Amino acid sequence: MAEVTVKQQQYQTYILSDERISAKVSVVPERGGIITTWRIGETEIFYLDTERFADPSLSVRGGVPLLFPICGNLANDSYTLNGETYQLKQHGFARNLPWEVTEQSTENGASLTVSLKSNEQTRAVYPFDFELNYIYTLRGNCLELRYRHTNLSGEPMPFATGIHPYFIATDKQQLVFDLPSTQFQAKDDDKIQTFSGEFDFEQDEIDVAFFNLSKPSAVVTDPSRNLKLTFNWDERYSTLVFWTIKGKEFYCLEPWSSPRNALNTGESLMKAEPGETVETFVTITADIS
């Protein structure tokens, strides 16, 4: 049985439920449209730093932050368009702005649509009128994330889209990765490296971007938690980022449509024509043994 309920906590929180397998997803629209938790039975899927989440002045570290209109950072946090230079901080502004709920449904799973429209604040750093409609659907052990980007401007709108999900990992040494590429670059390093199937978790930080993806899917198995996560995305996503910090019980596996600095380089940059809606999706399936 699918259900959507609302609970007032520090922020108004929408709960998507599938009682058949005791699955619940929490969404906080006003805190960047973010999914904060996903639980199946007693197993928590997402990591959330609750202290940072409680402080509106800090970026959220946990759940599924939304990346738009860039993924990663720009060189000098700036880009030039039509002769004008704009400042835009890492990952863009979508994750820091309040979204609103525009639709909910229980017809084919528990579904919630959150929306963000351009305003004076966004136009100051990104000179386009747009509307984003992001649809979260919980269906059994699958979380479907469907993203609709509508250009309301009179000229083509370049953008990147992506997500930054945080997954709990109490013992990262046990993680088993099936990723769709063996080529990656570390942040701030132009050298192309080969992935052997394992990460060195003794490093203080791992921040690498995989490219030349062979398929639109990945699998991460965590034997310590009897959990297998299967990721699928559409072919508009060109880049898969892995990020983690030593001593923190999380890792991030992030599908991005474009790599860092794409608004400057144009690499794999998406574009919506005037009046056009560009739709992308990511699904995550959690199998618990």
State the Cα–Cα distance between residues 45 and 228, nearest whole angstrom.
Answer: 10
Pick from 215, 246, 245, 247: nearest CA to 231: 215
State the Cα–Cα distance between residues 92 and 70, nearest whole angstrom.
Answer: 5
State the Cα–Cα distance between residues 126 and 121, nearest whole angstrom.
Answer: 9
201 within a domain of the structure (yes/no): no
Give me the mean pLDDT over the 56-73 stretch: 95
Task: Report how many domains make up the chain.
Answer: 1
Type of residue found at 266: G
208 within a domain of the structure (yes/no): no
C-alpha pair distances (Å), 284 with each of 78, 88, 137, 216 = 33, 29, 11, 12
**What percent of the chain has pLDDT above 90?**
96
Q: Within a 10 A sphere around the Cβ of 7, how many other Cβ atoms? A: 10
Residues 6 or more apart whose CB falls under 8 angstroms from that of 196 comprise none
pLDDT in tens, 200-234: 999 999 999 999 999 999 999 999 999 999 999 99
- Please report the beta strands in 248-289, taking only residues with DSSP state E, as ranges in sequence order: 250-256, 270-272, 277-288
**How does the average pLDDT of the chain come out, rounded?**
97
Q: Within a 10 A sphere around the Cβ of 271, how many other Cβ atoms? A: 12
This model's pTM is above 0.85: yes
Give me the mean pLDDT over the 110-135 stretch: 98
15 within a domain of the structure (yes/no): yes
Residue 57's pLDDT is 87
Tokens 């978790």 -> residue:
201
Residue 58's pLDDT is 87
182 within a domain of the structure (yes/no): no
The CATH number given to whatever domain includes residue 25 is: 2.70.98.10
185 within a domain of the structure (yes/no): no
C-alpha pair distances (Å), 71 with each of 17, 92, 95, 112 = 30, 7, 11, 24
Looking at the predicted structure, is the pLDDT value of residue 56 above 90?
no
Is 166:160 a contact under the CB 8 Å cutoff?
A: no
213 within a domain of the structure (yes/no): no
Pick from 208, 288, 191: nearest CA to 252: 208
pLDDT band at 284 (very low <50, low <70, confident <90, very high): very high
Residue 67's pLDDT is 98
Residue 168's pLDDT is 98
278 within a domain of the structure (yes/no): yes
Long-range contacts of range 88-91, CB-CB < 8 Å, 24 or more positions apart? 88/125, 88/126, 88/263, 91/65, 91/67, 91/164
Q: Which domain holds residue 51?
A: 2-172+233-288
Residue 78's pLDDT is 98
State the Cα–Cα distance between residues 102 and 145, nearest whole angstrom.
Answer: 16
Is 243:204 a contact under the CB 8 Å cutoff?
A: no
Q: Is 75 exposed, middle or buried (0-12, 13-18, 19+ CB in 10 A)?
A: exposed
State the Cα–Cα distance between residues 265 and 101, nearest whole angstrom.
Answer: 34
205 within a domain of the structure (yes/no): no
